[in-house]
Amino acid sequence: MDLKLLKTSDLVSLYSSVIKELKDRSVIRTNNVIGDLGEYLAIDYYNNTAGLPTLAVAPVGTENIDAISRKGDRYSIKSTSGNVTGVFYGLEPKGSTEPDKQKFEYVIICRFNTDYELEEILEMDWKVFLKHKRWHSRMNAWNIPLTKEVCNDCKVMFQK
């Protein structure tokens, strides 16, 4: 199908139909389309790549995690088309003297390009997450800046 031949109104209608179909297939489960796409693509990649753990989707609303491995490892999956992840809630605030209780074993980061094509999947463990987390004062939570240093500390699971 050559999209350039379609009228703009037909493209908008097609987009709506694609979103509806992705919801019907449980690829998109919330209003966070890029987040849901990242979760789906990461889990699908892990489940279809030899040597990687088999992951199951965590129920919508499960705090801190998006997937669970058969071994019981918990995964938080973040998607971005920029150089910083979304935020991680439920951790001790900046300046707290209390140690963070471990919320997950791994973070999976799906990086998309500006056309929302998956460019890479990165993975970090809890220790690497703690080393690199940065406080987001407006959100009152933590995120991960995707600097060269952070990316070097991650395992590259997939790269386009």
* Tens digit of each residue's pLDDT (9 = 90 or more) over 44-95: 999 999 999 999 999 878 999 999 999 999 999 999 999 999 999 999 999 9
Confirm if 102 and 76 have CB atoms less than 8 A apart: no
pLDDT at 152: 98
Per-residue pLDDT band for 29 (boundaries 50, 70, 90) equals: confident
pLDDT at 157: 98
Q: Extract the tokens encoding 148.
A: 């060269």
Distance CA 51, CA 68 (A): 16
Q: What would the mean pLDDT of 150-156 be, rounded to a whole number?
A: 98
Per-residue pLDDT of 85-144, as tens digits, reads 999 999 999 999 999 999 999 999 999 999 999 999 999 999 999 999 999 999 999 999
Q: What would the mean pLDDT of 5-18 be, rounded to a whole number?
A: 93
Q: Is 68 helix (H, G, I), strand (E, B) or coil?
A: strand
Q: What is the CATH number of domain 32-159?
A: 3.40.210
Q: What would the mean pLDDT of 144-160 be, rounded to a whole number?
A: 97
pLDDT at 139: 94
Distance CA 142, CA 72 (A): 24
**Which of residues 1 and 22 earns the better pLDDT score?**
22
Print burial letters for 118-153: b (CB count within 10 Å at least 16), e (below 16). Answer: bebbbbbbbebbeebbeebeeeebbbbebeeebbeb
Query: Is the per-residue pLDDT at 31 higher than 90?
Result: no
Beta-ladder partners of 142: 88, 135
Other CB atoms within 10 A of residue 52 CB: 15
The structural domains of the chain, with segments of one domain joined by +, span 32-159
